[in-house]
Chains A and B, each alone.
Chain A
Amino acid sequence: MGEATPTSGVETSGGEPTLRDRLGDLLENETFLGYGSLSPVMLLFLFIAVFPIIWALAGSFFAINAFNPVWEWTGISNYQHLFFEDGFYWSAVVKSVIFGFGSVAVQVVVGIIFALILQRSFRGNAFARAVVLLPYLVPVIVVGLVFQWMMNPNYGVFNLLAIRFGLINEAINFLGNQDIAMYALIVAASWKWSIFVVMMSLARLEAIPSGYYDAARVNGANAWQRFRDITLPNLKGMIILVVLLRGIWMFNKFDIIWIMTRGGPSQSTTTLPVYAYRVAFNQWQLGESLAIASTLFLTLVVGAAIYFGKFNPEQEVRVE
């Protein structure tokens, strides 16, 4: 990469190097060009990613009230309050874990099954792939509102069909029932984000040499054994990566939950991000809200440490 030295256009013969020559040299210098073409991104990142994160970590040590411009230094008392005095924090952690792990588990299983089906070539494969690809591009607000409509206790299709087919006698208020709301959210979230797993699995499945399957068939392996001994081991790396990435994303998910339930009914779907939002905009305790966000950030750092330690992602960025 970049090994060949570029031949500069015109050689100036003798004498002092003019300003023009120096500029020309600079424009052939890789370090200068490298930083130069990265500078827009670096500036943007400093302003829109690094600065907000530092702001959040710093702000978590202050009492910040939305209506008072003065930040009051309170040390670790925001964290102390969250961990030891505020009963809601740990319940929100548990809710986050249920939503995160639950939806990732569904996404991985469903995603791999869909990928195994779509991987085979059949008539109408392009159409089927297009239908399956769609949810990933449909905006989350649309997903949230459509599922809210389908789960409506009075007119929702789930209730109407289930009653018509005699599965239930009485309409269920999926999003209004404390015991069910979380599972309803997991269903809606999995509908949209399973597609991520489908796409990653399809890419991985195509990389398995078909000779493996032929050899297994010759040895008398049946379909289940071929899946267990060839497909699954080959998908293992992808599955771990997906569980890690999607796990972090679902654990920190805010939009679908806020759109569908606002954390309710009565806190039953208040995960950490929803709780952080509520503390900020219902109680106007911005410092404490930043402390919640900072604990989320720590989970991200742990995840990243595993990601970089185990997967060497910058090596993965390569042409296959």
Chain B
Amino acid sequence: MSYTTSKSPIERLMDYYVRNVPHATQKRISTWLFRFLVGATVIVVGFPTYVMLKASIQPELELFSKTFLFVPRNPTFENFAGLFTETSFARFYLNSIVAALGTMVISVVSATLAGYSLTRFTFPGKKRLAQSVLFSYMFPPLLLALPMFMIWRDLQLLNSYPGIILAHSAHALPFDIWLMWKFFQTVPISYEESAWIYGASRLRAMRDVAIPMALPGIIAVSIFSFAISWSDFTFANLLLTQESMKTLPIGMLGFIEQQAVNWGLIMSASVMMALPAFLLVYFLQSYLLRGFSVGGLG
């Protein structure tokens, strides 16, 4: 391919730059431009996180001053203390943990079985089932949450742990199955074949050979299902209305509806809620990235 015909203004500018600026200068300019871009990216993406962390340790007086301080002058932990003394934050945290762990167990068990089934067995209707998994991946939460509210009400599942765990599983499962499905394909079937030769049954080969080898995938799926339940707002907002059953996201929204909004409290609650995300990114980055890259869709 030759690059001579039909030049746009931007290309003409590039050509001028390439022809008239010395090569060494070009190199230096592009290095600095690149550094600037990386810095700008990190600042743009990191700024809200920084604002949140900063506000969580600022006393109320400083928070509501009309000048923006880049470094807090009087850092304090009173906001965090206030969460536990003035609000039902501890109760919300407990509810969130129960919901997230329940969702994790249900999703991991059923997604692992389904992923294994879809990669290792041939049976009629498999293609249709696989397609419906991918289709339900596209379901937006509110579409399920509205009818779920009515069904759950009739089944007495509103304001209950099983009710919210089932709803979160509906949200988490399509992606979890997709992930396990892809993961079992990275585990060669030959290990199971040699287990069969030594007399293991198919189920035993699955339990003792394939599942241990798919452990990184199972960890990734656990993290994702935990995270989906932990951060869900839509289902919790509809299905949990009792103060004592609320999970963190809707409990925190309640802070905003109070008469005088205490932003320090809200920001420290945000930090506490984002904390698992920070820890996950920090300690389990490789599993997460592997999960993302194997899952392909994030």
Contacts and interface: CB of A to CB of B under 8 A. Distances in A.
B144 to A, nearest CB: 5
A200 interface: yes
Contacts of A176: none
Contacts of B126: 34
Interface string A131-146: 1111111111111011
Interface residues of B, number: 115
B122 A2 contact: yes
- Chain B: interface secondary structure? helix
B166 A48 contact: yes
A44 B134 contact: no
A286 B51 contact: no
Given A1-B189, A146-B51, A146-B52, A48 B170 contact: yes
B68 interface: yes
Interface residues of A, number: 114
A253 to B, nearest CB: 7
A117 interface: yes
Contacts of A209: none
A30 interface: yes
B68 A55 contact: no
Interface stretch (B35-43, B71-79, B214-222): B35-43
For the complex of A and B, list the 4 residue pairs with the smallest distance between their C-beta atoms, beginning with the closest. Answer: A252-B140, A139-B231, A34-B121, A34-B123
Interface string A107-123: 00000001001101010
Nearest to B200: A9
Interface string B142-186: 111011111100000000000000110110010001100110011
B94 interface: no
A30 B123 contact: yes
Contact of B146 (A56, A137, A157): A56
A253 B66 CA distance: 34
A94 interface: no
Contact of B185 (A286, A313, A319): A319
A193 to B, nearest CB: 10
Given A141-B248, A222-B11, A225-B14, 7 more contacts: A4-B193, A34-B121, A44-B110, A53-B147, A128-B42, A132-B42, A139-B230
B127 A145 contact: no
B147 A33 contact: no
25 contacts: A34-B126, A35-B117, A37-B114, A37-B121, A48-B148, A49-B136, A51-B151, A52-B148, A55-B151, A120-B34, A127-B42, A138-B231, A143-B48, A145-B252, A149-B51, A161-B68, A191-B45, A203-B292, A224-B10, A224-B14, A276-B146, A293-B146, A308-B131, A317-B182, A317-B185
A85 interface: no
A72 interface: no
Given A139-B277, A146-B270, A229-B1, A131 B45 contact: yes
